Chains A and B, each alone.
Chain A
Amino acid sequence: MNAIIVSALLGVILMFCSWGIKSPRLQKNITLVGFLVLIVANLAQLNGWYVIDFDTKGMLSFSRFGLYANTLLFIVTFLYIWINAEEVDQIGNQSGDFYALFFFILCGASILTSFDNLLMLFIGIEILSIPLYILTGADKKNLLSNEASLKYFLMGSFSTGILLLGIAFIYGATGSFRLQAPQIVPSQGFAMEQYLLSAGLILIFAAMNFKVSAAPFHFWTPDVYDGAPTVFTSFMATIVKSAAFVAFITVFHGQAKSLGNSWELLLSFVIVATMLVGNITAVFQRSVKRMLAYSSIAQAGFMLFALYGVSDFANEGILLYMVVYSLATIGIFGVLIKMKEYSFEAFHGLGKSHPLLAFLTTVFLMSLAGIPLTGGFFAKYYMLNALMVAGAGLWLVIVAILFAAISVYYYFRLIQAMYFVPGTPAIKEVDKTYTYKLLVIAILLLVLGVFPNLLFNYLYF
């Protein structure tokens, strides 16, 4: 509750700052302070202090898991703004507007971590998506940005329509929008209830797959990620995707049993298809930005494991995966922003000319690939463990590991381009502080790679 109210308020404040205050530096500092306030407000609720305490009539329910996921999302966004603020300033005329949109997106994210009603799911997803359409098209004169924005908008509202049809079907079957709806009795009422419920759940499943860019509904992802301004791609691929995953899990951990055995079949199909499309297509990309877009599809395949069954491993795993994947992706995009062009050739010789930056890139890529000693290893380990605990077949684990091995190939192609091919990298001026900021991210990843428990301790106490 605190997070939703405070983030919406901060969004409005930042909106006014964008015409009241002209200095981008001051706007950035106000934003960072705003994030600290937001984190403190959220932690306060985690400890039982409310700004406003009222009965939400079953619309929202605040679990420890949701609130903790909120905290992690806010901290990651704080780091994101801290690193990327200068890049955000270079897009458009009024960067304060973008900061306001970030806060609105986080308002949607905090609804998505705490909804208990399909109405709030719908509203949360829309609050999350509508500012993103604007951010994607932020570079107004650039045709690619326009195209990405229009494509994202049309596809996004199409998937909203599908989500709504699913919600309407579920309402028709159960007579309630609550997540834990009373179980239907097929013999009473009209006999189609069971069909309506299954159809509704499958439609919601499709729409949510669209939002997290899982396989049969991934087709927009590479184009949108490629066309959007790189700073905002970094935001979309990390924080927004994580929030959508938390919502996905909240819906289906409660409802999946209504689908019976076919749920596991459906989910396995989506997981395998996602990892197949993501990993195989990423191998053939010539642009690093597009490769990262496909790699984010592949990572979504891994995150889908958390849906397989309810367990502590699934909850812990999705939080760890979310943080580690977001940090690594923000880091690698942080390096990518500084390149003049996004081809692999642009990275030739980076190891010689910018040794620290090349080393940091290596750490980020290793974490994405899941090499031990980086956070990515334990993230993948927890996800596979969640899959085993949920009782999935061993074949799925083997398939996942095989695809993880394929992913090593295209991540290491970039490392090879940096260290083993001589040349001059096409890189802009990078000042020392920027590199040190990225170093902080890399250190966090290495710490999480050795002590992943640091993250979970707060989940239970």
Chain B
Amino acid sequence: MPILYYIYLCLTLFSIGVVGVLTRRNAIIVFMCIELMLNAVNLLLVAFSKMYHGAAYLNSPTTTIGIDAQIFVFFIMVVAAAEVSVGLAIIVMMYRNTHSVDINFLNRLKN
């Protein structure tokens, strides 16, 4: 399959994430949309990794070209987990004070 299909798929997923962040009002859903963006990038990286690896594999079967993107994906997963732990703590902290996870709460600082 051409790499373009993967790029279009990932961009679609990423755009769904962006639209979700911009339109949804529930903090948890916004958060899930951000995770969707990160995972779209993961998919793209793996696709590119396979593309470069496949091309190099034809010349030498022991090549490691293209592996670094897959390592990158693991790093993104770990960092996303760290972000989730902090982010959920922040949302819980907000919930304790306001008893809601609505983003519309975020307008006190404007004036």
Segment of A126-134, A272-280, A414-422 engaged in the interface with chain B: A126-134
B58 interface contact, C-beta 8 A: no
Given A146-B93, A147-B105, A190 and B86 contact (CB-CB distance below 8 Å): no
Given A153-B86, A154-B31, A172 and B14 contact (CB-CB distance below 8 Å): no
Given A137-B90, A168-B48, A171-B69, A123 and B75 contact (CB-CB distance below 8 Å): yes
A161 interface contact, C-beta 8 A: yes
Q: Which of B31, B79, B91 has the most CB of A within 10 A?
A: B79
A123–B108 touching, CB < 8 Å: no
**Measuring CB to CB, which residues of chain B are less than 8 angstroms from any residue of chain A?**
2-4, 7, 10, 14, 17, 21, 27, 30-31, 34, 37-38, 40-41, 44-45, 48, 51-52, 65-66, 68-69, 71-72, 75-76, 79, 82-83, 86-87, 89-91, 93-94, 97-98, 103, 105-106, 108-110
Provide the bound-state CA to CA distance between A261 and B2, in Å: 31
Given A130-B82, A143-B108, A154-B31, A137 and B93 contact (CB-CB distance below 8 Å): yes
**A–B pairs, 28, beta carbons within 8 Å:** A126-B79, A130-B86, A137-B93, A147-B106, A147-B109, A150-B27, A153-B87, A154-B27, A154-B30, A154-B31, A157-B31, A157-B34, A157-B83, A158-B34, A160-B38, A161-B34, A161-B37, A161-B41, A165-B14, A165-B37, A165-B44, A167-B72, A168-B41, A168-B44, A175-B52, A177-B68, A177-B69, A192-B4
A12 interface contact, C-beta 8 A: no
B83–A149 touching, CB < 8 Å: no
Residues facing B in A185-222 (CB within 8 A) are 190, 192, 222
B7–A130 touching, CB < 8 Å: no
Complex contacts, A150 vs chain B, CB 8 Å: 27, 90-91, 94, 106
Given A147-B105, A147-B109, A164 and B86 contact (CB-CB distance below 8 Å): no
B75–A122 touching, CB < 8 Å: yes
Provide the bound-state CA to CA distance between A168 and B9, in Å: 14
Complex contacts, A153 vs chain B, CB 8 Å: 86-87, 90
Complex contacts, B4 vs chain A, CB 8 Å: 190, 192
Chain A residue at smallest Cβ distance from B11: A165
Given A150-B27, A226-B109, A177 and B72 contact (CB-CB distance below 8 Å): yes
A227 interface contact, C-beta 8 A: yes
Q: Which of A123, A130, A171 has the most CB of B within 10 A?
A: A171
Chain A nearest CB, measured from B18 CB (Å): 8
Chain B nearest CB, measured from A268 CB (Å): 27
Question: Interface readout for A139-167 with B: 1 if CB under 8 Å, 0 if not?
Answer: 01101101111110110011011001101
Q: Which of A134, A137, A154 has the most CB of B within 10 A?
A: A154
Q: Which of B34, B82, B110 has the most CB of A within 10 A?
A: B34
Nearest 10 CB-CB pairings of A with B: A161-B37, A164-B41, A223-B109, A168-B44, A172-B48, A146-B94, A126-B79, A157-B34, A175-B52, A168-B45
Chain B residue at smallest Cβ distance from A57: B68
A339 interface contact, C-beta 8 A: no
B105–A130 touching, CB < 8 Å: no
Complex contacts, A177 vs chain B, CB 8 Å: 68-69, 72
Given A150-B91, A161-B37, A223 and B110 contact (CB-CB distance below 8 Å): yes
Chain A nearest CB, measured from B83 CB (Å): 6
Complex contacts, A126 vs chain B, CB 8 Å: 79, 82-83
Complex contacts, A154 vs chain B, CB 8 Å: 21, 27, 30-31, 34, 87, 103
Provide the bound-state CA to CA distance between A175 and B10, in Å: 18
Complex contacts, A133 vs chain B, CB 8 Å: 86-87, 90
Provide the bound-state CA to CA distance between A223 and B109, in Å: 6
B97–A146 touching, CB < 8 Å: yes
Chain B nearest CB, measured from A399 CB (Å): 29
A190–B3 touching, CB < 8 Å: yes
Chain A nearest CB, measured from B102 CB (Å): 11
* Sample of 17 further A-B pairs with CB below 8 A, known A123-B75, A150-B27, A153-B90: A122-B75, A123-B79, A130-B86, A134-B89, A144-B109, A146-B94, A146-B97, A149-B90, A154-B34, A158-B21, A161-B14, A165-B14, A168-B10, A168-B48, A175-B48, A176-B68, A223-B109
Chain A residue at smallest Cβ distance from B110: A223
